[in-house]
Amino acid sequence: MKLVHIGLGGMGKTVQTIAQERGHQSVGEIEVGDEIDTSSLGNCDLAIECTVPKACVGNIRKVLKAGKDCLVITTGWYDEMDEVREMVEKSGVRFLYASNFSIGVNLYFRVVEEAAKLINLADEYDVWGHEIHHKNKVDSPSGTAKTLETILLQNIDRKKRVVEEKLDRKIEDDELHFSSVRGGMVNFGHTIGFDSSSDCIKIEHFARNRDGYALGAIKCAEWLLQQKPGFYTMDDFLKSVFK
C-alpha cells in the first residue's frame, strides 16, 4: 500500500512504523493545519487520519473530496457520524473507522458482551467501569469507553443511563458510572466490574504499548482495500477474520 499519514503524534508515528515493517510505503505526511487536497495526497492508495477530534471531520471531508480511501483512528467525533456516513456514500470510496483498532481490545469487547448477558440474569450484581489513558489523550472518556458503555447498556436491562462525571451523591440503581483518569506517558487500560455484596468480578484489558493498536489499524487498512466502496467498521473486519 501507498499511504499518506495525516497526523504524526505518538499513535500516528507508531502506525507509520508498523506499516513500513509490513512492507508498505509512506508517500506523504500531513500535520494538523496542513492543506489536504489532491496534491498533498498524491498517488496514495489510502489516507490514515490520526489527529484530534476537532480537526477530524474536516480532514475526512477533504480526503473524500479528493476521491481517496480513508481509515480513521481519531476518536471523539462520533456526534457527526451521520454526516460522515452520508459523505462516504456520496463519494464512492472505501472508509473504515473504529473506536479502538487493537485486536485484543475488540476481543475484550466480545468478552464483556457475553459477561454482561450473564450478569443481566444476576440482579445482585452492580456494574461499573473505569479507564486510564496517557496524559496526552485529548478526549475523555475515550471512544473505547463509549463502546464499553454501549455494550453494557444494551445487555443489562437494569442499567438505563451512563454517568461519566464526578459524583457527589449516591448513584441511582439504573445508572452506570464509568470513570476516567488521565496520566503518565503510555497508559491504556480498561476495567469492567460486576460487584455484589459477596464478591467482585473484574474484566480487564491493559495494553503494554501502542503497537497492538497500530498493527490492528494496518491490518484493517490492508483488508479495506480489498473491499467494495462503502462505509465499514472494525466489526466488519472482525467478522471476516473470526468467522
Q: What is the pLDDT of residues 196-213, one digit of tens each?
A: 999 999 999 999 988 999
Is beta strand 25-30 parallel, antiparallel or unpaired with respect to 46-49?
unpaired
Asked if residue 121 has pLDDT above 70, the reply is: yes
As a whole number of angstroms, the distance between CA 116 and CA 176 comes to 13
Q: Which of the following CATH numbers is that of domain 2-101+211-241: 1.10.3720.10, 3.20.20.140, 3.30.2320.50, 3.40.50.720? A: 3.40.50.720
Q: What does the block give as the cell for 187?
A: 497508559
- What does the pLDDT read at residue 99? 87
- Please name the fold of domain 103-206: Dihydrodipicolinate Reductase; domain 2 (3.30.360)
Out of 26-30, 102-106, 126-130, 201-205, least confident range: 102-106
Q: What percent of the chain has pLDDT over 70?
A: 100
- What does the pLDDT read at residue 199? 98
Length of the chain: 243
Asked if residue 242 has pLDDT above 80, the reply is: no
- What's the mean per-residue pLDDT of the chain? 95
Active site residues: 133, 137
- What does the pLDDT read at residue 3? 98
Average of per-residue pLDDT across 69-84 = 95
Predicted confidence band of residue 7 (pLDDT cuts 50, 70, 90): very high
Nearest to 42 by CA among 58, 30, 32: 30
- What does the pLDDT read at residue 126? 98
Domain ranges for the chain: 2-101+211-241, 103-206
As a whole number of angstroms, the distance between CA 72 and CA 49 comes to 5
Asked if residue 51 has pLDDT above 80, the reply is: yes
- What does the pLDDT read at residue 243? 67
* Whether 62 contacts 40, CB under 8 Å: no
Nearest to 48 by CA among 65, 63, 32: 63
Average of per-residue pLDDT across 146-164 = 97
Predicted confidence band of residue 19 (pLDDT cuts 50, 70, 90): very high
Average of per-residue pLDDT across 60-84 = 96
